Structure 1
Amino acid sequence: MINNEDVPRDLSRLVVPLLGSLEATEDLFVPYRLVDGRGSTVAPAAAFFAELMASGRPATTQRSYGMDLLRWFRFLWALGVGWDQATRVEARDFIRWLQVTTKPTRPHWRYPAGGSPGSGGEPAAAAVNAVTGKPSRGARYELTTVAHCESVLRGFYDFHLEAGTGPMLNPFPLARNAPSRPRAHRSPMEPFGREPRGRYRPKLVTRAPRSIPDERFDELFAQLGSHRDRALVAFWVSTGARASELLGATTGDADPGQQLITVMRKGTRVMQPLPAAPDAFVWLRLYQAQLAGLAPTGRDEPLWWTLRRPFRALGYDAARAMFTRANAALGANWSLHDLRHTAAYRMARDPQMPLTDVQWVLGHAHLSTTQRYLNPVTEEVIAGVLAFHSRQRERGPEAPPAAGYRSESLRILFGEAGS
């Protein structure tokens, strides 16, 4: 006899309305709140956010986790299932739906139908960029997003299971072969391995970090339209700081005399001075001279400002839009995070710079993370192999075989070319 719960839903006909939202607040204790379609706060999510804050997670983590919760609650609202009544069937169907559904698009004010110029309102399909070799973002969710959703929701239900406010079983279980007590019998001499994988977590392909080749970087840098943009990119590519870390710097954090700029680390929230290239401070001084008398310059004031009135602190979205415009002029799709990868590759390839120093500059908790930048770059491998084939071609035909070999034996081994 087949249980009704074992019958798969017809997800092709499921319509998930864009109800609710994740709202940013001005409250330091509640930086984000998840609201339903009526504007009421979703209490289970609010309790989870409070737990994240108590655990030392920054507001950016709450935003990232909140977007995953919003997708999940919208799915449950469409099914008419309460969050505390969800079972592994709903969790399984959510992951299935998330891997094939189309991402919702926010209409641009210039293109109310959605999309971009020339797209007709339809989301673009994923394709490999001819300049960078990176795949563009397609209409569907990336597998990394799906995997992140699974991890966040498993943690969300683990929290409520421990608090006694959720279902008796976590709808997002661990894989069947995962131990019930991970690392319970691990020898203290053994290195830590990966966390047990969730049952519905998709397998991800480990990608090598993408860096910008030097000649391409020079072309990209030439497309930047202001001293502020040049200073930002010069700092990113010389310090290896994350985009959000550098954008959070204040005027007092820049020390041209010591050639240092201090940033707050994303994970630890610790202030750390980072050495920067001299030209970065040259562009910074030109930018500050251009903005003199137009924006506040106190030590605690933001270092980066918008260039149009009314002057506001430069945010991540505006900085990304600036970099996207420079990319568009070259037909490229590099990201701000690729500047961090570029800095890491440049430092890791210098034989006079210890890898532990690179780890400190990048703020990696584990040296194994930094070791990724010792791997060969795709472009360099391709260029090396092509050069090998070129050298082989220049060598000319191979020397004829020594006398005494039977021609029929050579034909069997090498085909007609061997005769």
Structure 2
Amino acid sequence: MIERNDSERDLAALLVPRAGAFVETGDAWEPYRLVDPAGEVVDPVAVYLSDLQAIGRPATTQRSYGMDLLRWFRFLWAIDVPWNQATRTEARDFSRWIQITDKPAHSGGASATSPNPVTGKAKPGSKYAATTTRGHSESVLRGFYDFHRDAGSGPMINPFPLVRPSGRAHAHHNPMDPFRKERKGLYRPRIVQRVPRSIPDERFNDLFAQLGSHRDRALVAFWVSSGARASELLGARYADADAGQQLITVVRKGTRAIQQLPVSPDAFVWLRLYQAQLHGLVPTGRDDPLWWTLRRPFRQLSYHAAYRMFQRANAALGTNWSLHDLRHTAAYRMARDPDMPLTDVQWVLGHAHLSTTEIYLTPVPQEVIAGVLAHFTRRSQEAAAPRQPDPGSYRPETLNILFGEGTA
């Protein structure tokens, strides 16, 4: 493939309109659809999403991938390049554009990224995040072009190439160590491994006190004790909650496996209070949703509604905890229990590799800070205390001379 010479493209002056849309259809066979500025379906994306569905990717994954593809197609429409004629030049310019440009105003990006004074978590900035947006987009677009290259419907050379190793892969690998990921995207941003943040117990109690209903208390108690992801718990059915065994059955996000998770007793107490509150108002069949809205018309509680509920509690405290922080909190609590093996924590969280679970053995920042401050206090107290001589450090005859009880 001959690379297009677009070195004169002025990205600083490039305006990428919010053309086209990624719409939800309500059709189980085609949950989402990407349409161009004229309202026509973008067929290459439709075929790719159908392939994702065929290999078992849930609708939420299709939506995540589709939003990345929408951003890429908007860029191509703005520079007037057909998708199947894109080269490494377009991929390079897109990677530069998404790194430097600001997010749309509706996304709520803030110019200031100073940490929250209570949680220590930085607010979302005005730029696209390296991990959740830029890195994810690079992986999705590389997979999209790999699919069409293999199908013969796209360019023969992927615009988003892999980094080619200078020598043989794993040439100096120690057989006692795990293999490192040496193949990665050329335009993939450098990802900083961040330690997950948990909610300290006293902060969690304050947060729990701000919840305004039995349903919200039951939800948070289930999340913080089971370690389930927000979407996994919200998808539970009425029959999935087994109060007698203290178990909740969820469908795992990635593998779609059905798994029972143990839950704390107080979570089921809040669940029972919530169910008594809605008794006779919502259906309670085995396959009916477990979580409902509290206002008429009653509907299954969505992720966005649960997110807004949690944000209201955050706003009252001036914090910015996320729903996923509840999963981190559950993981930290279990991992720091000396009587609970780490492999059990791995099973509860649904991690494929133990190395993923080991990150929760990292010391909690708040506890480290408190420990160091206590260290400073002990040091100052030791320095202020008068030193007493150790009698064992002097010879007996020297002490006799000092106290007049003998001569040298």
Matched, 1:171 2:171: no
* Residue 378 to residue 37, structure 1, CA distance change in 2 (3 Å): same
**Shift in Å, 1:74:** 0.1
Instruction: Please say if residues 127 and 138 of structure 1, whose CA atoms lie closer than 8 Å, have aligned partners that are also in contact.
Output: no
What letter corresponds to residue 326 of structure 1 in structure 2?
A: A
TM-score, normalized by length of structure 2?
0.90
Task: Call closer, same or farther: CA 1:397–1:189 in 2, change over 3 Å.
Answer: closer
> 2:196 & 2:153 partners in 1: Cα distance?
41
Report deviation, 1:193: 2.6
**Range 191-200 or range 346-355, more displaced:** 191-200
Task: Give yes or no for the alignment of 1:156 onto 2:144.
Answer: yes
Distance 1:88 1:101 in 2: 20
Tell me how far 1:186 sits from its aligned partner.
8.2
1:178–1:332 distance in 2 versus 1, CA, 3 Å = farther
Q: What residue in structure 1 maps to residue 61 of structure 2? A: 61
Cross-structure match for 1:285: 272
Amino acid at match of 1:172: F
Q: Hey, what does 1:220 align to over in structure 2?
A: 207
The secondary structure found in structure 1 opposite 2:259 is strand
Instruction: Give the C-alpha shift of residue 75 in structure 1.
Output: 0.2
Matched residue, 2:45: 45
Matching of residue 5 in structure 1 with residue 5 in structure 2: yes
Q: Where does the alignment leave 5 or more consecutive residues of structure 1 unmatched?
A: 108-114, 116-121, 401-419
How many residues in Structure 1 have an aligned counterpart in Structure 2? 384
Q: Does 1:345 align with 2:323?
A: no
Cα distance between partner residues in 1 of 2:167 and 2:8: 28
Summarize the Cα distance change of 1:190–1:397 in structure 2 as closer, same or farther, 3 Å threshold: closer
Deviation digits for residues 105-149 of structure 1, max 9, x if unmatched?
339xxxxxxx6xxxxxx8553221111000110121111110111
User: Aligned in 2, Cα 1:142/1:261: closer, same or farther, shift over 3 Å?
Assistant: same
> Structure 2 matches for 1:58-97, cutoff 5 A?
58-97=58-97
Residue 104 of structure 1 corresponds to: 104
Match of 1:309 in 2: 296
The one-letter code of the counterpart of 1:34 is: L
Quick check: 2:4–2:89 contact (8 Å CA) kept in 1?
A: no
C-alpha contact (below 8 Å) 1:250/1:301 kept by paired residues: yes
Q: Is the 8 A contact 1:212 1:338 kept in 2?
A: yes
- Residue 134 (structure 1) aligned with residue 121 (structure 2): yes
Partner of 1:321: 308
Mapped to 2, the partners of 1:102 and 1:223 lie a distance apart of 34
Match of 1:233 in 2: 220
Q: Secondary structure at the match of 1:126?
A: coil
- Structure 2 alignment gaps of length 5 or more: 388-408
* Selected match of 1:259 from 246, 250, 270: 246
TM-score, length-scaled by structure 1: 0.87
Match of 2:343 in 1: 356
Report the equivalent of 2:391: none
Q: Equivalents in 2 of 1:395, 1:285: separation in Å?
A: 54
1:250 aligns with 2:237: yes
- Spell out structure 1 runs of 4+ moving beyond 4 A: 182-190, 397-400
> Does the 8 A contact of 2:4 with 2:87 survive in 1?
no
Q: CA deviation at 1:9?
A: 2.4
Residue 266 of structure 1 deviates from its aligned partner by 0.5
In 2, distance between residues paired with 1:327 and 1:379?
Answer: 19
Match of 2:185 in 1: 198
Asked if structure 1 preserves the Cα contact closer than 8 Å seen for 2:165 and 2:182, the reply is no
The CA distance in 2 between the partners of 1:5 and 1:397, in whole Å, is 73
- Contact 2:164–2:183 (8 Å) recurs in 1: no
Q: CA–CA distance in 2 between the matches of 1:178 and 1:164?
A: 29
Identity over aligned pairs, percent? 68
- Look at both structures and tell me which one has the larger radius of gyration over its CA atoms: 2
Classify the secondary structure of the residue corresponding to 2:99. helix
Distance 1:398 1:11 in 2: 66
Distance apart, 1:48 and its partner CA = 1.0
After superposition, the C-alpha distances for 1:75-132 in whole angstroms (9 at most, x for unaligned) are 000000000111111101101110111111339xxxxxxx6xxxxxx85532211110
Q: Structure 2 matches for 1:402-417, cutoff 5 A?
A: none
Which amino acid in 2 is paired with 1:30? Answer: E
1:416 corresponds in structure 2 to none
